[in-house]
Amino acid sequence: MKSLKSSVNKTFAILEHFTIEKPEWSVTELAKTMDSSKSTVYRFLSDMEKSGAMYQDPDSGKYGLGLKLFELGNRVRIQSAFVDRTHPELVKVAENITETVHIAILRNKQVYYVDKVKSPQGLTINSSIGSSKPLHCSSLGKVLLAFSFSGYQEIRSKNILGPDLERFTDNTIADHFDLENELIKIRAQGYAIDREEYEIGLICVGVPIFNQRNEIVASLSAAGPANRFKINELKNYVEILKSGADRIRGKIGEFKP
């Protein structure tokens, strides 16, 4: 435990030297400033580089803060500015719809789950907060695609989906032309359905969450087993989800992930 505590303290001591005024350090500079051996400083920097917390400039050999720290900072921001405010509304939606409810954002060209409330009916769904899934085969992802971009041309030009759409089940939309038509439909009706497109036996319905500047910030969905998820009650599901999305909108102000 003492060794772990010492390693954590050393890591943070190193990180605190990387500032706006001096964003890059050589091993020699840092070791001299910290009154530490070059071998020790190099070992810590090398380990942090492997995890993405540091990067090394190939030309100068100096180290700087890596994207992993930016990603972790974004997680904290999303938690404090978004999830902490919206979770009570997610609970209300789950209670009213009696199915598992998710909130997700668009990150790294995938659906990124930021919150989840399990179904009171005990179904276990293969999803977890902090995990990611493809955009084209879920109600959450299709909502994000439909409302985050001006049209399918922008989606293709930014290479959001790649040249091929992976097929997960026989119901997966694996053709770009078909997906484009699906997104046009979703934008017109204001919700999306995943009809066992990612996982056989699972149906999901999702709606967009907008901020008070009318920008999409996330998507909200309810998921349940095909043998229980009543498609003939779809209108009721959508109304519950949209009501929850509207309440969330009132709580997040101009938040944008």
Q: Of 18, 46, 65, which marks where a domain is finished?
A: 65
**Looking at residue 116, which CATH number applies to its domain?**
3.30.450.40
What is the average per-residue pLDDT within 131-137?
Answer: 92
pTM value? 0.72
41 lies in the same domain as 126? no
Model confidence at 2, in pLDDT bands (50, 70, 90)?
very low
In a domain, 172, yes or no: yes
In a domain, 133, yes or no: yes
211 lies in the same domain as 178? yes
Q: Which residue has the higher pLDDT, 185 or 115?
A: 185
In a domain, 114, yes or no: yes
The answer to which of 47-51, 92-96, 118-122, 212-216 has the lowest mean pLDDT is 118-122
| 46 Cβ neighbours under 8 A, 6+ residues apart | none
In a domain, 19, yes or no: yes
| CA-closest candidate to residue 117, choices 145, 148, 83 | 83
Q: Of 46, 65, 84, which marks where a domain is finished?
A: 65
In which domain, by residue range, is 160 found? 75-252
Check whether 237 has a pLDDT greater than 80: yes
Q: What six digits make up the tokens of 216?
A: 């999409």
40 lies in the same domain as 96? no
In a domain, 257, yes or no: no
164 lies in the same domain as 45? no
Q: What is the pLDDT of residue 4?
A: 45
| CA-closest candidate to residue 221, choices 247, 197, 183, 194 | 194
10 lies in the same domain as 89? no
Question: Secondary structure of the chain: what % helix, strand, coil (to 5)?
Answer: 45, 20, 35
Q: What six digits make up the tokens of 126?
A: 């293969």
Give the range with max mean pLDDT: 26-40, 101-115, 140-154: 140-154
82 lies in the same domain as 21? no
241 lies in the same domain as 143? yes
Yes or no: say if 203 and 59 are a contact pair by the CB < 8 Å rule.
Answer: no
79 lies in the same domain as 61? no
Number of domains present in the structure of the chain: 2
**Looking at residue 17, which CATH number applies to its domain?**
1.10.10.10
Model confidence at 82, in pLDDT bands (50, 70, 90)?
confident
Check whether 125 has a pLDDT greater than 80: no
The answer to which of 156-160, 242-246, 251-255 has the lowest mean pLDDT is 251-255
In a domain, 29, yes or no: yes
In a domain, 150, yes or no: yes
Check whether 158 has a pLDDT greater than 60: yes
Q: Of 65, 91, 118, which marks where a domain is finished?
A: 65
In a domain, 112, yes or no: yes
Q: What is the pLDDT of residue 122?
A: 61
| CA-closest candidate to residue 244, choices 219, 213, 212, 217 | 219
What is the average per-residue pLDDT within 111-131?
Answer: 79
38 lies in the same domain as 118? no
Q: What is the pLDDT of residue 1?
A: 43
As a whole-number percent, the residues of the chain with pLDDT over 70 amount to 91
Q: Which residue has the higher pLDDT, 192 or 250?
A: 192
221 lies in the same domain as 162? yes
As a whole-number percent, the residues of the chain with pLDDT over 90 amount to 48
What is the average per-residue pLDDT within 13-27?
Answer: 85
